[in-house]
Amino acid sequence: GAVVSQHPSWVICKSGTSVKIECRSLDFQATTMFWYRQFPKQSLMLMATSNEGSKATYEQGVEKDKFLINHASLTLSTLTVTSAHPEDSSFYICSAQLAGGSYNEQFFGPGTRLTVL
Amino acid sequence: GENVEQHPSTLSVQEGDSAVIKCTYSDSASNYFPWYKQELGKRPQLIIDIRSNVGEKKDQRIAVTLNKTAKHFSLHITETQPEDSAVYFCAASMMLMGNQFYFGTGTSLTVIP
């Protein structure tokens, strides 16, 4: 149980285009999902907290107009990288938290590797 | 916000030896501390976690200790095996207060057969 998927797993795009990444909790409901960015051999840096039915909360230094987050249902959150540039190339990972209770574990998706040419 | 530091960044041990990874955190309100293992190209997987109301937790060869006063926690792996080789991340979180995870910088563990 507690499986999180991401789509696509790998995307290459031209500079200036927008890319949408989906994060789905497959067998559980997640009121909260999180988006991370991971550079090679570096840590996971929290970008934003995505709450179902409300606006996302962005970490300091993360441009909300650049990284659009939508959490339209209890099983789906999307991250759209708008007007992507080469410096946006990175590994984007989402995680989902079980809805309800005090259980705190986050279940991670497999990640999406974005390459902007 | 919370700042988590992790040491060492790389660690090599002989198979069968123990490995210890240490983390410190800055926000005394943090009360949940998970450890994740990430193999190359794969998603992070939770290996053990500890809440602030306990000082130690053990699961077979893996244990975590927490010192709330000093704001540091450590991962202990005993009888290491080659399959333990991976990158390990600690994190700090405030349960029921957003639950955001702030990760340490990671430790690349290599277990030499």
pLDDT digits (tens, 9 = 90+) for B73-84: 999 999 999 999
Q: How many CB pairs under 8 A join A and B?
A: 56
Nearest CB neighbour to A104, from listed B95, B106, B108:
B95
pLDDT of A5 reads: 96
In one letter, which amino acid is A16?
G
Q: Give contacts of A110 with chain B, Cβ < 8 Å.
A: 42-43
**What pLDDT, in 10s, does the model give residues A56-73?**
999 999 999 999 999 888
Q: CB of A54 within 8 Å of any CB in chain B?
A: no
Looking up tokens 């441009």, which residue turns up? Answer: A63
Strands (E) located in A3-111: 4-7, 10-13, 19-25, 32-38, 44-51, 57-58, 67-73, 76-81, 90-97, 106-108
Amino acid at B36: Y
CA A68 to chain centre: 10
pLDDT for B113 equals 95
B14 to chain A, closest Cα gap in Å:
23
In this structure, the number of other CB atoms found within 10 A of the CB of residue A36 comes to 24
Which residues on chain B are in Cβ contact (under 8 Å) with A42?
105-106
Collect all residues of chain A within an 8 Å Cβ-Cβ radius of residue B89.
43-44
Whether residue A1 is predicted with pLDDT greater than 80 in this model: the reply is no
Q: Which residues on neighbouring strands pair with residue B19, listed in sequence order?
A: B77
C-alpha pair distances (Å), B59 with each of A12, B50, B100, B104: 41, 11, 24, 22
CB-based contacts of B26, cutoff 8 Å, min separation 6? B2, B3, B4, B71
pLDDT reported for residue A52: 83
Nearest to B56 by CA among B66, B43, B69, B71: B66
Measure CB to CB from residue B101 to each of A106, A109, A110 and give the nearest one.
Answer: A106
pLDDT tens for chain B, 113 residues long, are 789 999 999 999 999 999 999 999 999 999 999 999 999 888 999 999 999 888 999 999 999 999 999 999 999 999 999 999 999 999 999 876 678 899 999 999 999 99
B32, B36, B98 ranked by CB distance to A49: nearest: B98
Give the model confidence (pLDDT) of A19-70 as tens digits: 999 999 998 888 889 999 998 888 999 999 998 888 899 999 999 999 999 9
- How high is the pLDDT of residue A99? 65
Considering only CA atoms, give the Rg of chain B.
Answer: 13
